[in-house]
């Protein structure tokens, strides 16, 4: 039997999946997608697959990958999806196909104890309480008792981030192939185990971190693989920008200072000069940190006059770092710690030089300031060339899949972002009957979103629908401020009307807890901002109404958005239509996708933003949504919800 026939056999109504999946139903879209992915894997080509909700895209990529692939990396959008794929979907497919496939889930280095860090933390004796010492001792004992060094093996009575961060490694302080503990290293063991498996499940961040690992002497996962699958691929552009760019935080500089102190204590000669320079490095870091005082949020460094003090101190710190690196370099009997510190200092010098230099237009210079730390960023304007050079090498097949990759069926925003214009794109609509099961309502007479009473009007326009739905509603906001204001207003109205509908508001608990409460209460309204637009799956009658306050355009004065807008404009493009609208469409499709999760689900989507109908681009946006029945009549909505 050919592999194409095997795939058909797996997806048939009475096929292999039907034997292990309760209530299995054959979906033609799913089989087509699986065959398309199978063909791409066979030819070692990239393929981009958009699959509407309910297509069953996970099985559609797992089954051909298992049949054709020798070694497969699957990268999911989040750790939660990584767990779900590893613990559930892959196990189902293994049982269905009855083929013995080894699978490993790889975690980031912060999940494993580091022998070197434990050893040096012990020698520093920097803990300030007996409790911290006890927790540290537990981790230290684990070095000898644990096979994997996975910190989740120990059920800690409480989380102590200070102790935890002192027993795991970071990319900065890992000694890599120079480490005296390399033969026992838990991070390395986990990677070796992953490399031995046929299927490795990672998340997007880990995948890109792995691309950067080569120079640390760990060996990459990628060269070993013949299939790479990105699930939730609409997020890949953003993650790639983070990893192809670079950043340094003041916390990292303080860690470097700590490592410099540790290394210089062990010096046999030249310690005096080094110590003096380490003192000035400490002062340089402190002054640099102080130059951001009072700033909270994300800022564009192009406002040079506003941040002249920070730029001045960054140049000074760069100079101090350079002198210190040179001084360390001149020591004859240098220890391993200082050797690594020297390399890190040189990285700091290069980073700060680029960060404070305005001439290079290929990167966006910005910083993110909070009470705890300031992180300086260099974000590339464009990752297409770099990413496509990895994907288009013909060595393996790449599969990109998500429910939200296109704008009105056109995936060029996604493909241009990643340099994948020549890759095949195929799209399968959701098999759900949206025209029967759902309604899209855009209220009449809403003010423009910038209007002072906008949030109030969102609540007023939603209240009848919320009551008709008897709660069971999720309100998605484009900002935390709007969410909080709406929460206050809604709480008052519901109380006055004595509706007995409870409110759950983002921030009142973890996302996981709030969603569990929402599912259990069954008549609540859940208000959330960005993190609730994706990864929320409430099936059945528990969610029948999704309300979206505004079209989710990214904030134009955010430094990264502003940098991209200016760049596109300088290239003669139309940043609004080429970048902001497609981005908003993808986000809106994600938000709207929370409503209908199953074949029998019913529900109403309310988009309060009048621009959906009044602006020329509005048509492009609503045409990208599933084909719901559209109305502007509130009566249609309430009667539909009363039946739902
Ligand atoms: S190689 Fe890195 S992670 Fe492993 S023990 Fe050494 S320092 Fe720690």
Residue 504 makes CB contacts below 8 A (sequence gap 6+) with 514, 517, 518, 521, 524, 525, 526, 527
- Nearest-angstrom CA–CA distance, 178 and 509: 44
Identify the weakest region by mean pLDDT among 41-55, 106-120, 160-174. Answer: 160-174
Residue 222 binned pLDDT confidence (cut-offs 50, 70, 90)? confident
Give 221 or 443, the one with higher predicted confidence: 443
Please name the helix (run of DSSP H) or strand (run of DSSP E) that holds residue 145, with its range, or none. Answer: helix 130-145
**For 189-199, how does the pLDDT look when each residue is reduced to its tens digit (9 = 90+)?**
998 888 899 99
Asked if residue 173 is part of any domain, the answer here is no
Residue 270 binned pLDDT confidence (cut-offs 50, 70, 90)? low
Per-residue pLDDT at 268: 67
Residue 218 has pLDDT above 60, yes or no: no
CB 114 less than 6 A from any atom of ligand 1: yes
Share of residues in the chain with pLDDT > 70 (%): 97
Residue 305 binned pLDDT confidence (cut-offs 50, 70, 90)? confident
Identify the weakest region by mean pLDDT among 120-124, 316-320, 438-442, 446-450. Answer: 120-124
Per-residue pLDDT at 264: 86
Using the CB atoms, write b or e for 269-281: b if 16+ within 10 Å.
ebeebbeebbebb
Per-residue pLDDT at 158: 62
Tell me how far apart the terminal alpha carbons of the chain are, to the nearest angstrom. 47
Question: Which among 400, 428, 456 is the end of a domain?
Answer: 428
Asked if residue 206 is part of any domain, the answer here is yes
- Nearest-angstrom CA–CA distance, 534 and 588: 10
**For 278-298, how does the pLDDT look when each residue is reduced to its tens digit (9 = 90+)?**
999 999 999 999 999 989 999
- 469 and 582 assigned to the same domain: yes
Distance 105 CA to ligand 1 centre (A): 20
Mean pLDDT of the chain: 92
Residue 337 has pLDDT above 90, yes or no: no
Per-residue pLDDT at 107: 87
**For 582-595, how does the pLDDT look when each residue is reduced to its tens digit (9 = 90+)?**
999 999 999 999 99
Per-residue pLDDT at 333: 73
Distance 164 CA to ligand 1 centre (A): 15
- Could you list the beta-strand ranges (E) of 174-316: 199-203, 227-230, 246-249, 297-300
Q: How many domains does the structure of the chain reveal?
A: 4
Residue numbers of the domain that contains 133: 113-168
Alpha carbon separation from 320 to 253, 314, 346 (Å, rounded): 13, 10, 11
Distance 119 CA to ligand 1 centre (A): 11
Asked if residue 211 is part of any domain, the answer here is yes
User: Sign of the C-alpha dihedral, residues 530, 536, 542, 547?
Assistant: positive
- 636 and 560 assigned to the same domain: yes
**3-state class (DSSP) for residue 113:** strand
Asked if residue 176 is part of any domain, the answer here is no
Residue 336 binned pLDDT confidence (cut-offs 50, 70, 90)? confident
Average pLDDT of the segment spanning 509-517:
93
Residue 219 binned pLDDT confidence (cut-offs 50, 70, 90)? low
Whole-complex ipTM = 0.99
Give 218 or 510, the one with higher predicted confidence: 510
CB 168 less than 6 A from any atom of ligand 1: no
Alpha carbon separation from 120 to 115, 127, 136, 185 (Å, rounded): 9, 13, 12, 15
Residue 518 has pLDDT above 80, yes or no: yes
CB 121 less than 6 A from any atom of ligand 1: no
- 221 and 321 assigned to the same domain: no
**For 566-575, how does the pLDDT look when each residue is reduced to its tens digit (9 = 90+)?**
999 999 999 9
Identify the weakest region by mean pLDDT among 146-160, 327-341, 390-404, 467-481. Answer: 146-160
- 453 and 532 assigned to the same domain: yes
Per-residue pLDDT at 394: 87
Please name the helix (run of DSSP H) or strand (run of DSSP E) that holds residue 397, with its range, or none. Answer: strand 397-402
Residue 362 binned pLDDT confidence (cut-offs 50, 70, 90)? confident
Asked if residue 180 is part of any domain, the answer here is no
Please name the helix (run of DSSP H) or strand (run of DSSP E) that holds residue 457, with its range, or none. Answer: helix 454-468
- Count the alpha carbons within 13 Å of 498 in the hemisphere toward its beta carbon: 0
Specify the pairing of strand 297-300 against strand 246-249.
unpaired
**3-state class (DSSP) for residue 524:** coil
- Nearest-angstrom CA–CA distance, 561 and 446: 27
Distance 336 CA to ligand 1 centre (A): 13
- 300 and 418 assigned to the same domain: no
Residue 156 binned pLDDT confidence (cut-offs 50, 70, 90)? low
**For 2-26, how does the pLDDT look when each residue is reduced to its tens digit (9 = 90+)?**
889 999 999 999 999 999 999 999 9
Residue 353 binned pLDDT confidence (cut-offs 50, 70, 90)? very high
- 335 and 484 assigned to the same domain: no
Give 414 or 357, the one with higher predicted confidence: 414
Residue 21 makes CB contacts below 8 A (sequence gap 6+) with 92, 96
- 215 and 120 assigned to the same domain: no
- 349 and 442 assigned to the same domain: no
- CATH number of the domain bearing residue 578: 3.40.50.300
Per-residue pLDDT at 213: 64
- 304 and 349 assigned to the same domain: yes
Per-residue pLDDT at 236: 97
Closest CA to 532 of 540, 521, 543: 543
- DSSP for residue 444: T
Average pLDDT of the segment spanning 80-108:
92
SS3 content of the chain, % helix, strand, coil (to 5): 50, 15, 35
Q: Dihedral (C-alpha) 609, 614, 617, 619: value to the nearest 10 degrees? A: 90
Identify the weakest region by mean pLDDT among 255-259, 472-476, 587-591. Answer: 255-259
Give the other-Cβ count within 10 Å of 171's Cβ.
13
Per-residue pLDDT at 115: 97
Q: Which position has the token pair 């505004």?
A: 550
CB 340 less than 6 A from any atom of ligand 1: no
Give 224 or 526, the one with higher predicted confidence: 526
Per-residue pLDDT at 214: 56
Please name the helix (run of DSSP H) or strand (run of DSSP E) that holds residue 638, with its range, or none. Answer: helix 634-643
CB 113 less than 6 A from any atom of ligand 1: no
- The helix-helix angle for 130-145 and 115-124 (nearest 10°) equals 150
Asked if residue 359 is part of any domain, the answer here is yes
Residue 561 has pLDDT above 90, yes or no: yes
Residue 131 binned pLDDT confidence (cut-offs 50, 70, 90)? confident
Residue 224 has pLDDT above 60, yes or no: yes
Please name the helix (run of DSSP H) or strand (run of DSSP E) that holds residue 613, with its range, or none. Answer: helix 611-614
- 215 and 258 assigned to the same domain: no
- 251 and 239 assigned to the same domain: no
- Nearest-angstrom CA–CA distance, 199 and 186: 20
Token readout for 542 is 């528990």
Distance 113 CA to ligand 1 centre (A): 9
CB 187 less than 6 A from any atom of ligand 1: yes
Asked if residue 177 is part of any domain, the answer here is no
- 454 and 400 assigned to the same domain: no
- CATH number of the domain bearing residue 346: 1.10.275
Asked if residue 181 is part of any domain, the answer here is no
Distance 169 CA to ligand 1 centre (A): 7
């Amino acid at each position: 039997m050919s592999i194409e026939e095997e795939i058909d056999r797996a997806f048939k109504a009475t096929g292999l999946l039907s034997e292990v999946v309760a209530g299995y139903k054959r979906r033609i879209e799913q089989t087509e997608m699986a065959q398309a992915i199978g063909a791409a894997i066979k030819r070692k080509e990239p393929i981009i697959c958009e699959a509407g909700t309910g297509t069953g895209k996970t099985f559609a990529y797992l089954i051909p990958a298992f049949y054709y692939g020798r070694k497969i990396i699957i990268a999911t959008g989040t750790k939660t999806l990584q767990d779900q794929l590893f613990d559930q979907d892959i196990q189902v497919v293994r049982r269905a196909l009855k083929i013995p496939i080894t699978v490993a889930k790889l975690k980031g280095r912060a999940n494993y104890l580091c022998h070197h860090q434990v050893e040096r933390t012990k020698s520093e004796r920097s803990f300030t309480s007996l409790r911290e010492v006890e927790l540290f001792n537990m981790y230290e004992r684990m070095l000898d008792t644990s096979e994997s060094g996975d910190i989740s093996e120990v059920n800690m009575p409480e989380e102590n981030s200070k102790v935890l961060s002192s027993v795991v490694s970071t990319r900065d302080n890992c000694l890599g192939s120079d480490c005296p503990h390399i033969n026992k290293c838990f991070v390395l063991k986990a990677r070796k185990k992953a490399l031995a498996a046929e299927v490795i499940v990672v998340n997007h961040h880990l995948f890109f971190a792995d691309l950067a690992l080569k120079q640390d002497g760990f060996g990459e996962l990628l060269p070993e693989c013949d299939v790479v699958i990105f699930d939730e691929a609409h997020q890949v552009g953003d993650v790639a920008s983070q990893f192809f760019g670079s950043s340094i935080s003041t916390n990292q500089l303080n860690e470097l200072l700590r490592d410099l102190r540790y290394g210089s204590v062990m010096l046999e000669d030249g310690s005096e000069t080094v110590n003096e320079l380490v003192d000035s490095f400490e002062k340089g870091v402190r002054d640099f940190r102080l130059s951001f005082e009072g700033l909270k949020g994300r800022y564009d460094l192009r406002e040079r006059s506003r941040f002249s003090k920070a730029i001045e101190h960054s140049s000074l710190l760069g100079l101090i770092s350079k002198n210190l690196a040179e001084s360390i370099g001149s020591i004859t009997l240098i220890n391993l710690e200082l050797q690594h510190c020297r390399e890190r200092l040189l990285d700091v010098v290069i980073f700060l030089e680029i960060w404070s230099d305005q001439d290079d237009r290929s990167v966006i210079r910005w910083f993110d300031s909070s009470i705890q730390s300031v992180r300086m960023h260099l974000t590339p304007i464009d990752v297409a060339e770099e990413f496509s050079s990895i994907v288009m090498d013909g060595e393996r097949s790449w599969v990109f899949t998500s429910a939200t990759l296109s704008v009105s069926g056109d995936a060029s925003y996604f493909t241009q972002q990643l340099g994948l214009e020549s890759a095949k794109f195929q799209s399968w609509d959701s098999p759900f009957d949206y025209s029967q099961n759902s309604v899209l309502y855009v209220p009449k007479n809403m003010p423009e979103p910038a209007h002072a009473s906008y949030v109030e009007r969102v609540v007023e326009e939603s209240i009848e629908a919320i009551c008709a739905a008897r709660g069971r509603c999720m309100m998605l906001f484009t900002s935390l401020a709007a969410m909080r204001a709406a929460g206050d207003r809604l709480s008052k109205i519901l109380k006055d009307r004595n509706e007995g509908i409870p409110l759950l508001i983002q921030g009142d608990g973890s996302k996981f807890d709030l969603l569990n409460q929402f599912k259990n209460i069954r008549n609540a309204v859940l208000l959330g901002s960005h993190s609730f637009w994706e990864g929320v799956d409430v099936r059945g009658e528990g969610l029948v109404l999704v309300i979206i306050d505004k079209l989710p355009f990214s904030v134009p004065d955010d430094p990264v958005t502003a940098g991209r807008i200016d760049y596109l404009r300088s290239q003669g493009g139309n940043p609004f239509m080429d970048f902001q609208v497609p981005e908003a469409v993808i986000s809106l499709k994600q938000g709207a996708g929370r409503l209908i999760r199953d074949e029998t689900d019913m529900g109403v989507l309310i988009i309060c933003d009048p621009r959906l109908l009044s602006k020329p681009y509005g048509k492009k946006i609503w045409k990208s949504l599933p084909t719901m029945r559209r109305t502007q009549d509130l009566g249609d909505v309430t009667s539909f919800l009363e039946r739902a």
